[in-house]
Amino acid sequence: MLNKIKLWKNQSQSSTLRERIEDIKKLPVPRHVAIIMDGNGRWAKKRALPRIAGHHAGMKVVRKTTKLANELGIEALTLYAFSTENWKRPKNEVEYLMKLPEEFLGTFLPELIEENVQVKMIGYKEQLPSHTLRAIEKAMEDTKNNDGMILNFALNYGSRAEILDAVKRVLNDCQEGIIDMNELNEDSFSSYLMTSELEDPDLLIRTSGEIRLSNFMLWQLAYTEFWFTEVLWPDFAEDHLIKAIEVFQKRQRRFGGV
């Protein structure tokens, strides 16, 4: 009897989730969603596990979130996987984090290809271990002809450094006569950023209860809608992404107007 009740509850929840997905698709969805995936370490600590166990659990959530985002018709999903400040973490944790792209893409890449997802990356490649870079570049090469959702990994990424580098390139191009300083505007400056091929995010999600940007897309998030949750990233479920988009769809975006 208990098993029958449990099965009925699961079927009911699944039916409700499916209905919410269909309702979301009737309204405009955010074209670009960015996620700060936070709380892996705390998730592991609560379970008396090493921090790397939290990162491994979080990797599985990336797969589920990517699949649902693609189904919802989101055009780009940017995941903050590793910041330029994360090198300060314990050596064994950093080494494990650098292995995750290999593990994730090694198992999930065929599915990404099949589902027409294109893999991209923003961040500083030069500091990445060769095995990490090989995994990312293989995924980018194997999916370059896909024209569906973009799965964009922010890996060894820091927004302040990105903006400073963009300023230096602008100054150089001005000195070389490539651009006229008086004609520089927000759009032309954005073309010097790592996200030049992407629209600015419509929705930012941050997990684990932290309410800050942590040096993530400081320029690009100027008019982005924010959604924060106490849920730790390894516990982030389909329901949470759906809820974030439902909230987004109820907001009025004025972009400084009335």
- The CA distance from 139 to 91, in Å, is 26
**Residue 72 near residue 29 (C-beta atoms within 8 A):** yes
CB contact at 8 A, 30 and 203: yes
Residue 81 near residue 158 (C-beta atoms within 8 A): no
CA angle 242, 117, 87 (to 5 degrees): 80
Rounded Cα–Cα distance for residues 249 and 239 (Å): 15
Euclidean distance between CA atoms 145 and 21, whole angstroms: 28
Q: Are 246 and 189 in contact (CB under 8 A)?
A: no
Of 3, 23, 38, 200, which residue is the catalytic one? 38
Burial class (CB in 10 A: 0-12, 13-18, 19+), 243: middle
Q: Is 38 marked active-site?
A: yes
Name the E strands within the chain.
32-36, 76-83, 118-122, 150-157, 203-206, 225-228
Of 3, 23, 86, 235, which is the active-site residue? 86
Tell me the C-alpha distance between 5 and 71, whole Å: 29
Q: Which residues are catalytic?
A: 38, 86
